[in-house]
Amino acid sequence: MPEFAPILVGVSVLFLLVALYSGKIRAEVAFFSAVMFLTVFGVLTPKEAISGFANEQLAVIILLLILSDTIRKTNVMDALFNRLFKGTKSQRSFVGRMMLFIAPASAFFNNTPLVAMMMPYVHSWSKRNGMSPAKLLIPLSYVTIVGGCMTLVGTSTNLIVNGMAVDAGLPGLDIFDFTWIGLPLAIVGGLYLFFFSDRLLPKHKDAVAEFSEDWREYFVETEVGQTSSLIGKTIQQAGLRNLKGNFLVEIARNERIITPVSPTHILRSYDRLIFTGGLDTIQDMVKAEMGLSLPKTCEADHLSDVVEVVISYNSSLIGKTVKDSDFRGKYDAAIVAVHRNGEKLSGKLGDVELQAGDALLLFAGRDFYKRATENAFYTISRKQNVRVQGRKALYVILGVLASILVSATTPIPLFTCLLIVLAGTLLGGILTATEVRKGLDVNLLTIMAFGLALGKALINSGAADIIAETVLNVGKNLGPIAVIAGIFVVTNILGAYMTNKAAVALIFPISVSLAHSMNLPVEPFVLVVAFGGAASFITPIGYQTNLMVYGSGGYNFKDFMKIGLPLTLIYITLSTILLAVRYDLT
């Protein structure tokens, strides 16, 4: 290994921070590049570079995601939610029920599918009760986060930290080792959301309602047909200046963008008219025999359902234009409009470059729900037929619960139990091999595996020891409690602005080195990394469930900071005190 290995690791970490914060390089590409760089220079061996893909805890995460996706494909959950939330009429009562039922569920089920299952119900409940979904979607994400912190299997962050501990030769954590700290945190966090979330959250309309009512934030494209009655008329003569609920923003003619649009501008065939407006009024205009049509990708009799989706944080669509995404070919659906949290879009719809958190309005065909099984986006509003019988979904739920119980009480690993359940779903016809393949989140797998490799590089190069020694020299007079709090803060801030998985991969070896250097128990230093990484409340980009609700709720970064910063401070303070007391660090 080269003598300047710590410098190489430092360069790699700096590259990752810049790449992930700027968003110009996809996370999985950034991690792959960093690990490849370290492998070329001998900091990592080829075996170490790819060893993360054989990590048992990583495999557990993937299996949980696949099995949870099976449950999401049935409306059996809607029936369950109707029972759980029966009689709730206020924001506070709904949040209280989420803490009572959803938080414990998230302790045993992966947060991402759980939020995906709950979001459509939150929207429908909000509509029925005349409430803004923005009052409930961030609490939904936060409730699953605080609930997930209560057990080893509640969040992928905990599983990753446990996997790194085992790889480092430390004893593995038991399923309820997190509960001693996570349960009090969840109770206090739940009380905070119960009493303060309504005051701190905005009254944004959901993306579907905004599309109809807050039309200035939406971007819809129509085309003047070759036989249109509008050809040769001015904008004024065509009646396009005073359309109810719509505003003509610009005209795209060949490669030229005409904006602002003058009332005297003369229309030509094949002009693309860019409106901001509601879907209903656009449809009325298209049906009004004006000779306007939606993009050709929308022309099909079977594209009948109007569906809203939100692009996921690790979607393969990110960075692609609407035109280059081949959305129609992949998903049997056409993109009709794009919503980006109030940002003004310009140019042809096909040239819009898609970003994480974008809300898309689709015209969906018969095969959409069959094809939309990968994690490119989350379906928020849909008319979906039941694809999995409720009884079969119940079998999956019971199988996962049984797996958790067996792994907690016997020497049989959770991975083995979940593998048996997955085999049962395949043999029973609940899932097909194709659906398993599509449900496999390759991007997430890559990030986690190479994140583990980067943690190895920090240890191999000695960089972790150097950072640990530096932190000790700075804080040697502050004591172990201050060091625990500092680890939480650093992990949490890194996780908030890149990803929590990347943050724990970076901080874990440093935290362990600090424990050894200070002759303290290692377990609290392992747990604080997990809690610091999982408790991601201050930005939408640090945790996948935050990003899921970000676009749908019409939130901005300030909304997350406003409600998330006090909750983060509560978690830092309380977790430090609880860890200090439980492990006698005073």
More confident position, 332 or 1? 332
Q: Which of 152-161, 386-395, 397-406, 421-430 has the lowest mean pLDDT?
A: 386-395
User: pLDDT class for 136, splitting at 50, 70, 90?
Assistant: very high
Q: Which of 106-120, 383-397, 556-570 has the lowest mean pLDDT?
A: 383-397
DSSP code string of 505-532: HHHHHHHHHHHHHTT--SHHHHHHHHHH
- Whether 420 and 492 map to the same domain: the answer is no
- Whether 460 and 438 map to the same domain: the answer is no
Query: What is the residue range of 17's domain?
Result: 5-39+452-582
- Whether 402 and 479 map to the same domain: the answer is no
Residue 167 placed within a domain: yes
Residue 51 placed within a domain: no
Total domains in the chain come to 2
pLDDT value of residue 212: 43
pLDDT value of residue 387: 46
Q: Which of 256-270, 321-335, 376-390 has the lowest mean pLDDT?
A: 376-390
Question: What sign results for the dihedral spanned by CA atoms 218, 319, 378, 116?
Answer: negative
Residue 507 placed within a domain: yes
- Whether 519 and 564 map to the same domain: the answer is yes
pTM of the model: 0.58
pLDDT tens-digit profile of 291-312?
A: 677 665 555 555 556 777 888 7
Please give the C-alpha separations between residue 45 and each of 41, 376, 454, 568, in angstroms, as whole numbers: 9, 33, 12, 38
**To the nearest whole percent, how much of the chain has pLDDT over 70?**
76
Instruction: Please choose, from the candidates 450, 497, 532, the residue with its C-alpha nearest in 3D space to the C-alpha of residue 157.
Output: 532
Per-residue pLDDT, averaged over 230-234, amounts to 86
pLDDT value of residue 576: 93
Q: Average model confidence (pLDDT) for the chain?
A: 78
User: pLDDT class for 507, splitting at 50, 70, 90?
Assistant: confident
Structure tokens at 137: 């979607």
Residue 363 placed within a domain: no
Measured distance CA(506)–CA(464) in Å, rounded:
9
**To the nearest whole percent, how much of the chain has pLDDT over 90?**
16
pLDDT value of residue 214: 41
Single-letter amino acid code for the residue at 345? L
Q: Please list, in sequence order, all residues whose beta carbon lies within 8 angstroms of the beta carbon of residue 70, skipping any fewer than 6 positions away.
A: 388, 393, 396, 425, 430, 431
- Whether 416 and 479 map to the same domain: the answer is no
- Whether 468 and 414 map to the same domain: the answer is no
Measured distance CA(478)–CA(513) in Å, rounded:
17
- Whether 462 and 428 map to the same domain: the answer is no
pLDDT value of residue 571: 95
- Whether 107 and 13 map to the same domain: the answer is no
Measured distance CA(490)–CA(507) in Å, rounded:
8
